[in-house]
Amino acid sequence: MTAGVARGEPEASAVQTSPAQGKLIQDMVKIVTDQNTPIYPSRKTAAGSLLLLGDPEADRQLLAILANAKDRQSQLAVTAALTEIENPDPQYQSALIDNLLAGDPALQEASTIVLSRYRDPGLIERMGQIIDSDKRPLPQRLAAIGAMGKMRSKQAVAVLITLMERLHRDRTGSRELKLACARSLYDLTLVDYSTDVSAWQKWWEKNKNKDDLQWLQGQLDILANENRFLRTRLEQTERVLIETLVRSFRSAPKNDAERVKTIQEYLASSLSAHRLAALQMLTIWISQNQGLPPELQTSVRSLLGDQDPIVRCECAKVLRDGKDVQAVEALLGQLEKESEPLVKRELLVALGQLGGPELLDRVLPQLALPLETVATGAAQALARIFQNDNDAPIGPEFRDAAVNAILQRYQQAGDDMPLLRQELLAAMGAIRDKRFLQVFKDALGSPDANVRLFGAAGLAALKDPAQIDLLLGYLKDDPEPGVRAKIATGIASLGLADDRSVVDQLVERLNPTVEKDKQVREVIFGAITTMVKRWPCDQQIAWAEAVFARAAWVDLEHRQAIVNGLQDQITAQSGAWPPDVQVSLFRQFGDLVLVTDRPAEAVKYYRQSLVAAKRVTSPPVEELADRMCQSILAAASGGLDPLVCAQFLNRSVGLIPGAHLEVLTDCFAEVLAQEDPDNHLQEFIAALSADFHKELSEAYRQKLAAMGRGVPSTAPALAADTQPSSS
C-alpha cells in the first residue's frame, strides 16, 4: 500500500488537525497498537495509512509508538511500514537508531532497511560515532556496523575502513568487530579482503577519488550482481522443491483418485513452483499412456494465462502431449495476447499438434514475424499440421499458401538464424512438395552440418527416384557422420522400384575401409535390411548368399541379423510355397545359417528341404544330401563341428537311404579323423543316435564301432515331432 511513496521534509508551519482527521488517526493508532491484531498485513497497513496522511499529529503518534520499548510488536508494525517509504522523514531517524540498537532481531532488521533509505551524511556520521565508541556495548556496535553495510555511500566505506585501521593499529576491539566490518565492506563493494587491513587500504587508495557518478555506477553494478545471485538461489530452491514434489508423486501408491487430487491442489496453488510441479506430474501421468484427466482440463487450460511465463510454456506442452483438442480455442486466445516469444513458440507448436488445416491462416502470419523464436514455432506448427493431414487432407489452396510462405521466409532467414532455417527445412520435408527440390539440393551443399542434415531428410521425403545418385554421392562425400547416416536412412525410405544396384553400393559402404564411422555403418546396414525386406524371399536368400560369399567385411553380427530377418519371413511364408520351392529355399537358407554363430540350426532347414524333396522327382534326395554335406564341410573353415555332422545324419533318418547315410558318414569321419581323431571323431560317433544305427548295415555298424573303439552311442532317439514326415 505504501510501496514507492516519497516523503519530503515536513511543513515548517503548524497544520491544525481537523476533528474528523483526529478521529481517523485515533482509529488507525488503535489498530496499530492492538495486540490481538496480526502485524502483517493489518497493523502494518494501518501504520502505512498514518504515514500517508502527512499530518503532524499522525507523525507524533507514530514517533510515540516507536519510542515505546514496552511494545515491540507495535514498534515493528510502524518500522515495517516505513520500509516501504522511498524517502523517509528525517524526524524518524533518532527513533530508528534507538530501535536498531535495542537488540530485537526483527526490529533491528527492519530499522536497518529504513535507515539505508536516507541520503543524509549526518546519519552516517552519527552511525560512525556509535561504531567507533569503545564505551558502547558490543551488540550495539555490531548492529550499527551491519546497518552501515546497507548505506550505499562512499562515506560509509571510509568510516568502516577507518575503524578497521584503528582496531588494527591500537590492537583494540574484538575479532567480532573486525569480521563485522569486513562483512559490511563486502556488502558495499563485493570485494572480499576479509580483515586484511593492508589490502583494504590499497583498494581504498584506488577508489576514494571516484566522483559521485562513478561511485553510483559501481553501486548499481553491485546491486545487479546481488539480484542475479538472489535470483539464481531462488531458481535453485524452486528447482529442488519441484524435483522433490515430483519424486514424491512418482513413488506414491498408484491411486488415481489421490494422484488427481494432489495435482489439483498444486494447480490451484499461489506458488509458481507448485504449479510447475503439477504440470510435471501431469507429464508423468500422460507418459503412462493416460490422457489428460477430464476433471483437470479446465484447471490446466486456465494456466495458459498464468503470470509466470514458464508456467504458460509448460501448460502449452501438457495440453499438446495430453492431446486436449478442446483446448485449441484457449490456445488461440492466449496466442493473440501473448508477449513472450518463448511462450508463443510453445503455443504454436501445441496448435500444430492439436489443430488441422483450419489453423493455417492463424499460423502463417506468425511465420512472417521477424522474431526467430516465434517464426521457429510457426514452422514447427506447420510441420505437424501437414504430418497429420491423413486425418484431414489439406486442399491445394492451403498447400500453395503454406509453400509460398515458407519459401519466402526461408529466403529472408539469413545465416544468423540457423535454427529457423532448420525448422523451415523440416516443415518443407513434412509438406513434401516438389517446389522445395532446389532448396533441399542447395541445403546439401551448405557449410552447416545441421542444414545439410535437414536437406537430406527433405530430399528423401520427396521420394523422387531421380535424386538417388545425388544422395549416394553425398553419402560418399559428406564429412559429417550424422549427415551420412541421415542420407542412408533417406535412401531406404525412397521405396525405389528397382533398388538392387543401390543395395550393392550400400553393402560396399559396410566395409570399414570405405566408411570409417561404425555408427554410420550400422545405420547403412539398417537401411539395407529395410530395402531388402521388400524383395521376394527367394531373391533375399540369393542376395544373402552372394553377399556372404564376396563381402568378407560383412561380419558375423550382421550375418546373423540378415539370417534372423529371413528366418521370420520363412516361418511366415513357407507354408504357401510349392514343394520344389521348399526344396531349394530351405537348403539355401540352411547354407546361410551355417555361417552364423548358430550353425547347428542349419540342420533343421536341411531336414525340411529333404522332407519336401520326397514329394518331387528332382533332385534325388541323395544328390540333395550330398550338396548339404559339401556345404557343411565348406562352412567349417575353423574346423568341422562333430555335433553338427551328427545332428545332420540323425535328422536325415528315414529321408536318406541307409546306404547313402553310410557314404555321408564316411565323408564326415574322414575329415574329422584328419583334424582330431582322438576327440572330434570319437565325439561324432558317440553323438550318432540309436535310430541312425538301425538304418546301417551290420557290416557298417561293426566298422563304425571299430572307428569309435567301441564307444557306445550317447545320442537319444529322435523325438516324435522330429521323426520323418509321412509325406
Q: How do residues 313-332 score in pLDDT, each as one tens digit?
A: 999 999 999 999 999 999 99
Q: Does the domain formed by 18-219 have CATH 2.60.120?
A: no
662-698 burial: b if 16+ Cβ within 10 Å, else e: bebbebbbebbeeeeeeebbbbbbbbbbebbeebbee
Whose grid coordinates read 568487530? 177
Query: What is residue 653's DSSP assignment?
Result: B
Asked whether the predicted pLDDT for residue 453 surpasses 60, the reply is yes
Q: What is the mean pLDDT of residues 140-169?
A: 91
Count CB atoms within 10 A of the CB of residue 482: 17
Statement: residue 715 has pLDDT above 50: no
pLDDT over threshold 80, residue 229 = no
Question: Degrees (nearest 5) of the Cα angle 515, 516, 518?
Answer: 95
- pLDDT at residue 254 tops 50: yes
For residue 678, name the pLDDT band (cuts at 50, 70, 90). confident
Q: Which of 319, 329, 265, 330 is nearest to 293 (CA)?
A: 319
Q: What is the pLDDT of residue 322?
A: 93
Cβ burial of 522 (10 Å; 0-12, 13-18, 19+) is middle
Omega before 619 within 30 of 0, i.e. cis:
yes
Q: How many residues does the chain have?
A: 727
- Evaluate whether 132 touches 97 at the Cβ level (below 8 Å): no
Among residues 687, 678, 683, 675, which one has the least CA distance to residue 715? 687
Cα 689 from Cα 603, distance rounded (Å):
15
pLDDT, tens digit, for every residue of 96-148?
999 999 988 889 999 999 998 888 889 999 999 999 998 899 999 999 999 99
Residue 390 has what pLDDT?
59
Residue 135 exposed, middle or buried by CB count within 10 Å (0-12, 13-18, 19+): exposed
Helix (H, G, I), strand (E, B) or coil at 6: strand
Domain residue limits, the chain: 18-219, 436-534, 535-631, 636-727
The per-residue pLDDT for range 476-493, each reduced to its tens digit, is 999 999 999 999 999 998
Give CA–CA dist 451/435, Å, rounded: 18
Cβ neighbours around 434 below 10 Å, total: 9
652 touches 610 (CB < 8 A): yes
Which CATH fold topology does 535-631 show?
1.25.40
The pLDDT value recorded for residue 21 is 86
Asked whether residue 688 carries a pLDDT value surpassing 80, the answer given is: yes
Is residue 226 scored above 80 in pLDDT? no
The span from the first CA to the last CA of the chain, in angstroms, equals 99
Does the pLDDT value for residue 220 go beyond 70? yes
Are 427 and 409 spatial neighbours (Cβ–Cβ below 8 Å)?
Answer: no
By percentage, how much of the chain surpasses pLDDT 90?
A: 60
pLDDT at 40: 81
The whole-number pLDDT of residue 6 equals 41
Q: In the predicted model, is pLDDT for residue 726 greater than 50?
A: no
CA angle (637, 638, 639) in 5-degree steps = 95
- What is the rounded CA–CA span in Å between residue 77 and residue 17? 24
* Per-residue confidence (pLDDT) for residue 709, from 0 to 100: 66
Bridge partners for 653 per DSSP? 656
Q: Is there a shared CATH topology between the 18-219 domain and the 535-631 domain? A: no
CA distance 142 to 137: 9
The pLDDT, as a whole number, for residue 173 is: 63
Residue with cell 546481488: 226
pLDDT, one tens digit per residue, over 493-549 is 888 878 899 999 999 999 999 999 999 999 999 999 999 998 999 999 999 999 988
Residue 234 to residue 229: CA distance in whole angstroms: 9
DSSP string across 341-409: HHHHHHHHHHHHHH--GGGHHHHHHHHTSS-HHHHHHHHHHHHHHHHTTTTSPPPHHHHHHHHHHHHHH
Evaluate whether the domain defined by 436-534 bears CATH number 3.40.50.
no
Q: What are phi and psi of 398, to 5 degrees?
A: -65, -40
| CA-atom Rg of the chain in angstroms | 44
Give one DSSP letter per residue of 535-560, joined into a string: S-HHHHHHHHHHHHHH-TTS-HHHHH
Residue 116, classed as helix, strand or coil, is coil
Residue 295 has pLDDT above 80, yes or no: yes
Q: Residues 613-625: what's their mean pLDDT?
A: 90
Lowest average pLDDT, out of 62-66, 683-687, 705-709, goes to 705-709
CA–CA separation, 162 and 128 (whole Å):
10
Banded pLDDT at 562 (limits 50, 70, 90): very high
Please answer whether residues 33 and 65 qualify as being in contact, where contact means their C-beta atoms are separated by less than 8 angstroms.
Answer: yes
User: Bridge-partner residues for 715, per DSSP?
Assistant: 689
Distance of CA 319 to the CA centre of its chain: 18
Query: C-alpha grid cell for residue 311?
Result: 508456467
What SS3 class is residue 85? strand
Q: Rounded CA gap, 427 and 512, in Å?
A: 35
Q: Which three cell numbers stand for residue 397?
A: 489452396
pLDDT at 242: 84
Query: 12, exposed or middle or buried, with CB in 10 Å at 0-12, 13-18, 19+?
Result: exposed
Confidence at residue 15, expressed as pLDDT on a 0 to 100 scale: 56
Q: Is 706 exposed, middle or buried (0-12, 13-18, 19+ CB in 10 A)?
A: exposed
Q: Please tell me the distance from the alpha carbon of residue 424 to that of residue 428, in angstroms, as a whole number.
A: 6
pLDDT above 70: residue 725: no
> Which H or E run contains 87?
strand 85-87
* Amino acid type, 668: F
Residue-level pLDDT at 719? 38
Average pLDDT of the segment spanning 150-177: 86
Dist CA 586 CA 611 (whole Å): 10
Residue type at position 298: T
Please report the pLDDT score of residue 710 as a whole number: 46
For residue 548, the Cα-to-chain-centroid distance in whole angstroms is: 41
Give pLDDT, residue 172: 66
State residue 333's pLDDT score: 96
Going from the C-alpha of 170 to that of each of 167, 174, 567, the distances in angstroms are 5, 12, 95
Which pLDDT score is estimated for 391?
A: 60
Rounded alpha-carbon distances, angstroms, from residue 488 to 480, 483, 484, 511, 528: 13, 9, 6, 15, 9
For the stretch 401-430, pLDDT in tens is 999 999 999 999 887 888 999 999 999 999
pLDDT for residue 713 is more than 50:
no
Question: Counting beta carbons within 10 angstroms of the beta carbon of residue 586, is it exposed (0 to 12), middle (13 to 18) or buried (19 or more)?
Answer: buried
The pTM is what?
0.60
Burial of 309 (0-12, 13-18, 19+ CB in 10 A): middle
pLDDT of the residue at 18: 82
**Residue 14, pLDDT above cutoff 80:** no
Q: What is the DSSP letter of 41?
A: I
The pLDDT score that the predictor gives to residue 392 is 62
pLDDT value of position 330: 96
Mean pLDDT score of the chain, rounded to an integer?
Answer: 88
Listed residue (641, 653, 651) closest to 684, CA to CA? 641
Which of 271-275, 520-524, 685-689 is predicted least confidently?
271-275
Alpha-carbon distance 181 to 196, whole Å? 11
Instruction: Give the pLDDT band (50/70/90) at residue 716.
Output: very low
| Cβ(433)–Cβ(383) below 8 Å | no
Which SS3 state, helix, strand or coil, does residue 428 take?
helix
Residue 629 identity (one-letter amino acid): C
